[in-house]
């Protein structure tokens, strides 16, 4: 596929395997093929289809996941080639599955449902022409009409969902403004999934937030109260994590979950500094943040998993050079006092701002 530009095929497939794991699947292997252009019927070439088919029989494989989006026709042809019981899906459908499993709030559920319908809409056409062909052409034209009817129904449902989502968001805003009448600063954690955001949250608060080596362990914003040694406190909010190759159609839905951070007192950008693509991930997060209305909010970067890097001394020097970076190990608790002090310092700066604004 077209993954060669920013992320290597290996990195992309590794992330896909993590996603599959998150969805509760056991990954037994992966393969890829270099083609000038994807096969319009089966995405991969016929040789590769045969190779995967024999692996399916040898290993008892139940699901085959493709890293790029497949058309409805390709999905159907692949399922036919692999045999009846094998489920074929693409990255987008897999992510939608995970979002569906993890959607804990009404708002998240609505967003997932919306994305699922938008995913289905362009795939309706081929499904119906397929049925038409199965019926031996006797119902010619019927399929076409049915597509139009179905598309209209789906578009109406999409419209209804959009409205409902808007109203849910309005109510959340009201809830938020009530929360903000309490003079406790809100600190939001942002960053890639697996960066260690929930581990950090747990270490700081002892709250029971799902932390596991899985993507999207934290789909919905989760807020906890952190009490520092000096008695001061702040609210710490976890946000949905980024992924390297988020399908375009899911971007809007999941950027919406980040809207809440525009009302924070401080943004903490958590980075897995042991990750080979840490630098690219930092840039990607910064890019999204620059597109949200958060430029006036102070920021602090946390380089997490320093226990995992080969040369921690070098990392600490880099962090010092860069400034506004705290090195921690959320797992061992190393550096968490420094982290709290840095948060305190940043919040003090922003409190001065708040006081200056109040006449």
Binding residues (CB under 6 A) for ligand GDP: these are 193-199, 211-213, 217-218, 241, 304-305, 307-308, 329-331
Q: Residue 189, Cα to own-chain centre: how many angstroms? A: 14
* Beta carbon nearer to ligand GDP, 113 or 250: 250
Enter the tokens of residue 243: 């992924």
Nearer to ligand GDP, 91 or 102 (CB): 102
Which of 242, 200, 251 shows the shortest CA–CA distance to 222? 200
Task: Provide, rounded to whole angstroms, the least separation between the CB of residue 193 and ligand GDP.
Answer: 4
If the CB atoms of residues 130 and 299 are measured against ligand GDP, the closer one turns out to be 299
Q: For the CB of residue 119, give the shortest distance to ligand GDP in the complex, in Å.
A: 24
48 DSSP β-pair partners:
none
Give burial (CB, 10 Å; 0-12/13-18/19+) of 301.
Answer: buried
For residue 63, give the 3-state DSSP assignment.
Answer: strand
| Closest CB to ligand GDP: residue number | 196
CB of 358 to ligand GDP, least distance (A): 35
Q: Is the CB of residue 354 less than 8 Å from the CB of residue 296?
A: no
In the complex, minimum distance from the CB of residue 305 to ligand GDP, in angstroms, rounded to a whole number? 4
How many Cβ atoms from other residues are within 10 Å of residue 215's Cβ? 23
Minimum distance, C-beta of residue 102 to ligand GDP, in the bound complex (Å): 11
CB of 236 to ligand GDP, least distance (A): 12
Helix (H) or strand (E) holding 223: strand 222-227
Task: Tell the smallest beta-carbon distance from residue 217 to ligand GDP (Å).
Answer: 4
Nearer to ligand GDP, 88 or 217 (CB): 217
By beta-carbon proximity to ligand GDP, the closer residue of 81 and 244 is 244
Report how far residue 339's alpha carbon sits from residue 334's, in angstroms, rounded to the nearest whole number. 10
Q: Which is nearer to ligand GDP, 218 or 244 (CB)?
A: 218
Dihedrals φ, ψ of 128, to 5°? -75, -40
**Dihedral, CA of residue 145, residue 137, residue 139 and residue 82, to nearest 10:** -70
Choice between 150 and 307, CB closer to ligand GDP: 307
CB of 239 to ligand GDP, least distance (A): 9
Minimum gap (Å) between residue 216 Cβ and ligand GDP: 7
H/E stretch holding 238: strand 233-238
Residue number with CB closer to ligand GDP (125 or 199): 199
Task: List, in sequence order, every beta strand (DSSP E) within the chain.
Answer: 63-66, 87-90, 186-191, 222-227, 233-238, 266-272, 299-304, 325-327
How far apart are alpha carbons 45 and 59 in whole angstroms?
Answer: 21
Q: Residue 308 carries which DSSP code?
A: G
Locate 251 and state its tokens. 């971007």
For residues 262 and 229, give the distance between their C-alpha atoms in angstroms, rounded to a whole number: 27
Nearer to ligand GDP, 116 or 198 (CB): 198
* Longest Cα separation, the chain: 79
Q: How far apart are CA 266 and CA 349, in angstroms?
A: 10
Closest CB to ligand GDP among 21 and 263?
A: 21
Nearest-approach distance from CB 196 to ligand GDP, in angstroms: 3
Structure tokens that stand for 304 in this block: 């997490």
């Amino acid at each position: 596929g077209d993954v060669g530009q920013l992320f290597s095929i290996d990195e992309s497939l590794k992330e896909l395997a993590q996603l599959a794991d998150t969805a509760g699947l056991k990954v037994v292997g992966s393969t890829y093929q270099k083609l000038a252009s994807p096969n319009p019927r089966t995405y991969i070439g016929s040789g590769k289809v045969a190779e995967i088919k024999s692996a399916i029989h040898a290993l008892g494989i139940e699901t085959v996941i493709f890293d790029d989006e497949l058309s409805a026709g390709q999905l159907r042809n692949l399922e036919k080639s692999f045999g009846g019981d094998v489920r074929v899906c693409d990255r987008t459908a897999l992510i939608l599955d995970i979002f569906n499993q993890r959607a804990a709030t009404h708002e998240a559920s609505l967003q997932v449902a919306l994305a699922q319908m938008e995913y289905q809409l362009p795939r309706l056409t081929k499904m119906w022409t397929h049925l038409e062909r199965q019926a031996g052409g006797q119902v010619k034209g019927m399929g076409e009409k049915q597509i139009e009817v179905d598309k209209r129904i789906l578009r109406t449902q999409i419209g209804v969902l959009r409205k409902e989502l808007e109203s849910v968001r309005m109510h959340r805003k009201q809830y938020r403004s009530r929360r903000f009448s309490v003079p406790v600063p809100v600190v939001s954690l942002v960053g890639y999934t697996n960066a260690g955001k929930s581990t950090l949250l747990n270490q700081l608060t002892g709250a029971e937030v799902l932390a596991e080596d899985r993507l999207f362990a934290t789909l919905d914003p989760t807020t906890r109260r952190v009490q520092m040694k000096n008695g001061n406190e702040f609210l710490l909010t976890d946000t949905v994590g980024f992924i390297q190759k988020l399908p375009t159609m899911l971007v809007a839905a999941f950027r919406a979950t980040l809207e809440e951070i525009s009302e924070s007192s401080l943004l903490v950008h958590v980075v897995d500094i042991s990750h080979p693509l840490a630098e690219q991930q930092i840039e990607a997060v910064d890019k999204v943040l620059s597109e949200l209305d958060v430029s006036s909010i102070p920021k602090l970067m946390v380089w997490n998993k320093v226990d995992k890097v080969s040369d921690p001394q070098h990392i600490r020097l880099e962090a010092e050079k860069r400034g506004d970076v705290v090195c921690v190990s959320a797992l061992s608790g190393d550096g968490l006092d420094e982290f709290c002090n840095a948060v305190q310092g940043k919040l003090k700066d922003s409190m001065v701002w708040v006081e200056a604004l109040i006449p």
